[in-house]
Amino acid sequence: MEYLIGIDVGTTGIKTVIFNPEGKAISSAFELCSLNTPYPNWAEQNPEEWWEATKLSLKRALSTSQIKPSQIKGIGLSGQMHGAVLLDKGCQVLRPCILWCDQRTSSQCKWIIDKLGEKRLASITGNTALPGFTAPKVVWVRDNEPEIYEKIDKVLLPKDYIRFRLTNVIATEVSDAAGSLLFDINKREWSKEILEKMKIPKDWMPKCFESIDVCGRISKKVAKETGLKEGIAVVGGGADNTCSAVGTGIVKEGKLSSSIGTSGVVLAYTPEVKRDPLLRTHTFCHSVPHRWYVMGVMQSAGLSLRWFRDTLGMLETKLGELSGIDPYFFFSKEAEKVRPGSEGLIFLPYLMGERTPHLNPNAKGTLFGLTMRHRREDIIRAIMEGVVYGLKDSLQIIKSINIDVDEIRVTGGGARSKLWCQIQADVFGQEVVTLGSEEGPALGAAILAAVGVNLYTTVEEAVEKMVKIGPSLEPIAENVRRYEEYHQLFQSLYRDLKEDFDKVSEV
């Protein structure tokens, strides 16, 4: 039998998963990577650490799989978006990679908007300039580290640095390039206009492929270092969000995914470029050839419950340590005791500002309606509900730009909680479907590899065979009505507090 590998270059570490052609995970390995924050709002990683973690995870996954290297047919790559890996003419890394969550580039974003005009910029890239994107990071290096800027020969995205180390090929693909703010998402190519106006040489940018294209093959050196066979095909792969979309089956009209991980993502497939006129959501190239997606992003989805765990959840954390059970299981069980609406308690999950729909770094987390009646379990449920209210904000925007949503698939760590899935069904007022695998981005990368090496003809065909569906949950009519009222209160609270959020940030 032939097998496929999906490698996910994440912020917390590198995950390698080996799949069979039916999408079953045969073995996996995960290697942690460190995150450096040398100054407030900065976030950097060392690309060399990614590479060492990639080699280790490949060796571990192969050794536990009992699969012969000759049985590996293809490799797909998934990776965190927007990072800037800067290489010199000798292909050496010039500085640590500035990550997607880094917020240092506000003035560079303003410069880009002034240079191009927000309307023109959005018409080309599908987005406005935000600190997370790649282009402002390159401009920041120009403004603050000119001695580094002068040595730049190539600008790579995180997973594409791993591709280079695996194959010696400098390349990228459309879904990740689309998140750089240097890419024409309509033509699916680097934007000559943007590059010229920013004075960024076009030859700094790697050759761009579709996600299913074979971009390189495993080198002889890497084969010796990892146990892989020389010559295995490495396909374009995709950004983590598009690979997650492929891995959850969001490859046809009418399908949408709702993901609760550290952040929250609502993502919908579209066969043509569609944008929110107010630019509250992002529009990027999909990993399905010549297709696109619209995405709303929350900064602190699962992170909100993690905040509770780290500050007020010592009991559950200790229980988890003693029992070997995830403390989030205990949180979910406690929240099940509470009626929908959390006894009038509403949580605004803006612990790190917010992207969709507010694009407001000054937004603050808020627990509203607290009384002597409330207990810990009410707060837990209010946090879970508040996160889903935020996801609904994105869902409403996506529906407002004439994207049909016939099926919602829930994924991410939040999908392990039946309660959190039910809250999504009730708040959305729509059936939600769970999935049979939690491998998301790695599975999506493997699916793209399966198409690239001709195990399947199209991404849609591969998804049909490799993505497994789990149970679905119907909305409860009484809860739908209650949550509609609470969601309206949730939205009005932000409007009422917005100016105060700004004042608190100034103070």
Helix-, strand-, coil-residue percentages of the chain, each rounded to 5:
45, 20, 35
Q: Are 286 and 444 in contact (CB under 8 A)?
A: no
- How many whole angstroms separate alpha carbon 401 and alpha carbon 270? 11
Of 102, 160, 213, 240, catalytic: 240
User: Which residue in this structure is represented by tokens 């780290």?
Assistant: 310
C-beta atoms surrounding 82 within 10 Å: 24
SS (H, E, C) 49-61: HHHHHHHHHHHHH
Q: Which of 70, 81, 62 is nearest to 10 (CA)?
A: 81
- Taking only Cα atoms into account, the Rg of the chain, rounded to an integer number of angstroms, comes to 22
Helix (H) or strand (E) holding 494: helix 477-506
User: Which residue in this structure is represented by tokens 């939600």?
Assistant: 432
- How many whole angstroms separate alpha carbon 284 and alpha carbon 255? 16
Q: Which tokens in the block code for residue 233? A: 């095909």
Q: Which tokens in the block code for residue 5? A: 């590998």
Residue 276 annotated among the catalytic residues of the structure: no
Q: Which tokens in the block code for residue 146? A: 């000119």
Q: What residues act catalytically?
A: 240
